[in-house]
Chain A
Amino acid sequence: GAVVSQHPSWVICKSGTSVKIECRSLDFQATTMFWYRQFPKQSLMLMATSNEGSKATYEQGVEKDKFLINHASLTLSTLTVTSAHPEDSSFYICSAKLAGANQETQYFGPGTRLLVL
C-alpha cells in the first residue's frame, strides 16, 4: 500500500527557533498534500492544503507566515514552524492524495510531535 513518512517523529526546540517537518510519499506521486494539527484531547484539525508547484491554501485562523508550507515535488512537502513558541507545541500530521482520488482516500504519515520549550 501507499506509504507516507514524516521526519522527524519527535522534535524539541527552544522558543524563537524554527523547525522544519518533512512529509514524503514513498511509493507514489502525491499531487495534493494536507497538513493537520492536533492539540491534546482535541480534534485533528486541517491547517492547510498544498498542491505540487502551487501556494498552499490555509484554513481560517492559521497564520501562513508562521506555518510555511513548501510542496516543491510530487513526493515531498515541508512544514516550517517559524519562530516557534510553546503554544505551537502539538502533534502535526501530514497526508497525501493521488490526483483524482476521493477526498477520504488520503494516506497519512505517522505524525511529528513538537515540543517548544
Chain B
Amino acid sequence: GNSVTQMEGPVTLSEEAFLTINCTYTATGYPSLFWYVQYPGEGLQLLLKATKADDKGSNKGFEATYRKETTSFHLEKGSVQVSDSAVYFCALLSSGGYNKLIFGAGTRLAVHP
C-alpha cells in the first residue's frame, strides 16, 4: 500500500544552519507529493508541493525535488531561522482511486539562536 517515511526527529540546529529532512515514499502510479508545516499551537499548513517527477516545490526558502528514481522528496533550506521551529510532515496523494492524503510521522525541528 501507499506509505511515507520521514526521518525521525527532533532535528536541532543553530540559526543559519542548512536543513535537510528526509522523506521517502511507496506508492503505485505517480503520486503528488507535499510538505506540510505545523507551528506550535496551530494546524498543519501546506508548505509546498510537486505533482510530477523532477518538479521542484518551493516556498519561504524551503525546497523539495520530486525524485522518482529514489522515491524521495527531501525538504531543504539553506539557512534556517528560529521562526522555522515547527513540525514538518511529508505527504502523498495517490494518482489512483484512493484520493486521500497519506502522511508521514512528522519531524520536529528546533532552531536555536
Question: CB within 8 Å of B: which residues of A?
Answer: 4, 36, 38, 41-46, 49, 93, 95, 103-111
A-B contact pairs, 25 of them (CB 8 A): A4-B43, A38-B105, A41-B105, A43-B104, A43-B105, A44-B89, A44-B104, A44-B105, A46-B100, A46-B101, A49-B100, A103-B101, A104-B32, A104-B46, A104-B49, A104-B91, A104-B101, A106-B101, A107-B43, A108-B36, A108-B38, A108-B44, A108-B45, A110-B43, A111-B43
The total of interchain contacts (Cβ-Cβ below 8 angstroms) comes to 50
In Å, the complex CA distance between A104 and B31 comes to 12
Q: Which residue of A lies closest to B6 (CB)?
A: A43
Residues of the B chain whose Cβ atoms lie less than 8 Å from the Cβ of A103: 93, 99-101
- B103 in contact with A110 (CB, 8 Å): no
Q: Besides A104-B34, A110-B42, 15 other CB < 8 A contacts?
A: A36-B103, A38-B106, A43-B102, A44-B103, A44-B104, A45-B103, A95-B44, A103-B93, A103-B100, A103-B101, A104-B49, A104-B91, A105-B46, A108-B36, A110-B43
Closest 4 CB pairs of A and B: A108-B43, A44-B103, A108-B44, A43-B105
- A43 in contact with B103 (CB, 8 Å): yes
In Å, the complex CA distance between A36 and B42 comes to 15
- A42 in contact with B43 (CB, 8 Å): no
- B43 in contact with A109 (CB, 8 Å): yes
Q: Does B41 contact A (CB under 8 A)?
A: yes
Q: Does B64 contact A (CB under 8 A)?
A: no
Q: Which residue of A lies closest to B38 (CB)?
A: A108
Q: Does B55 contact A (CB under 8 A)?
A: no
Nearest CB of chain A from residue B73's CB, rounded to whole Å = 13
CB-contact partner of B106 in A44, A106, A109, A110, under 8 A = A44
Q: Does B16 contact A (CB under 8 A)?
A: no
Q: Does B86 contact A (CB under 8 A)?
A: no
Residues of the A chain whose Cβ atoms lie less than 8 Å from the Cβ of B89: 44
In Å, the complex CA distance between A113 and B91 comes to 22
Nearest CB of chain B from residue A66's CB, rounded to whole Å = 21
